[in-house]
Structure 1
Amino acid sequence: MALLPEARMVVDASGTWKLVVLTGYEPLEWPAYDFGRIAPLPSVAERVAVLAALGFTAREGAAWEWDVTATPRRIVYAKVPVRPVAEHAAVPVSGGAV
């Protein structure tokens, strides 16, 4: 079981990269950001900026890792354990790169 909260970046059903913070609450309440593109792959710096805008930062010593789901339709995604930060700016669910 993943240590929550955890940020995941995956190609969304729309065909673009989306970053979602799994918080343990209902999925509709998960903070999310759509990069609005498939290429180029959002850089680590872009992901860090989006996480900060969503009110999270990577846990100390944590780094982005790639993983794959165990389902028959295997989905590749990047993940990192995160923690909330005290102050943050709101980011819309969809938008361009940060």
Structure 2
Amino acid sequence: MRYSARLSNSFDDTWELYIVSDRLSVDWPELTFNRVGPVPTPYERNAAVATLGYEIVDGAQWQWQELVNGPMDRVELLAAVDVRPIGGAA
């Protein structure tokens, strides 16, 4: 099973981290940072991943994307990194 941590500011502008997998589900573990800015630091993101029971896969790096609906729209940011359950349990 593959897991990914996603960091987003897309819905109400506050930063949210959630874990998705290739299993069909809409019940993803999530954590809200309760702020619009600044972007959560790498330390804060890693701590949030651990709080949700996961760890970043060795050598994985956060990858960032800009999501734009139109030229005058607010840019939504999304970052993702591969993770695994702490201890390797599936």
The equivalent residue for 1:5 is 3
Which secondary structure does the structure 2 equivalent of 1:48 belong to? Answer: helix
What residue ranges of structure 1 are gaps of 5+ in the alignment?
87-98
Cα separation, 2, equivalents of 1:72 and 1:66 = 17
The one-letter code sitting in structure 1 at the alignment partner of 2:78 is Y
Map Cα deviations across residues 61-80 of structure 1 (whole Å, 9 max, x no partner).
001110245x8467421110
TM-score by length of 2: 0.78
The equivalent residue for 1:95 is none
How far is 1:12 from its partner? 4.0
More strand by share: 2
TM-score by length of 1: 0.73
CA contact (8 A) 2:15 2:35 kept: yes
The one-letter code sitting in structure 1 at the alignment partner of 2:5 is A
Map Cα deviations across residues 16-51 of structure 1 (whole Å, 9 max, x no partner).
000011123312x11100100011110000000010
How far is 1:57 from its partner? 0.7
The one-letter code sitting in structure 2 at the alignment partner of 1:51 is V
What residue ranges of structure 2 are gaps of 5+ in the alignment?
none
Cα separation, 2, equivalents of 1:22 and 1:10 = 13
Which secondary structure does the structure 1 equivalent of 2:60 belong to? Answer: coil
Cα separation, 2, equivalents of 1:12 and 1:68 = 10
The equivalent residue for 1:91 is none
Cα separation, 1, equivalents of 2:85 and 2:66 = 25
Give every structure 1 segment of 4 or more consecutive aligned residues whose post-TM-superposition deviation is greater than 2 Å: 71-76
How many residues are matched? 83
Give the CA RMSD over aligned residues.
Answer: 2.3
Task: Quote the sequence identity (%).
Answer: 32
Aligned counterparts, 1:78-97, within 5 A: 78-86=79-87
Which secondary structure does the structure 2 equivalent of 1:60 belong to? Answer: coil
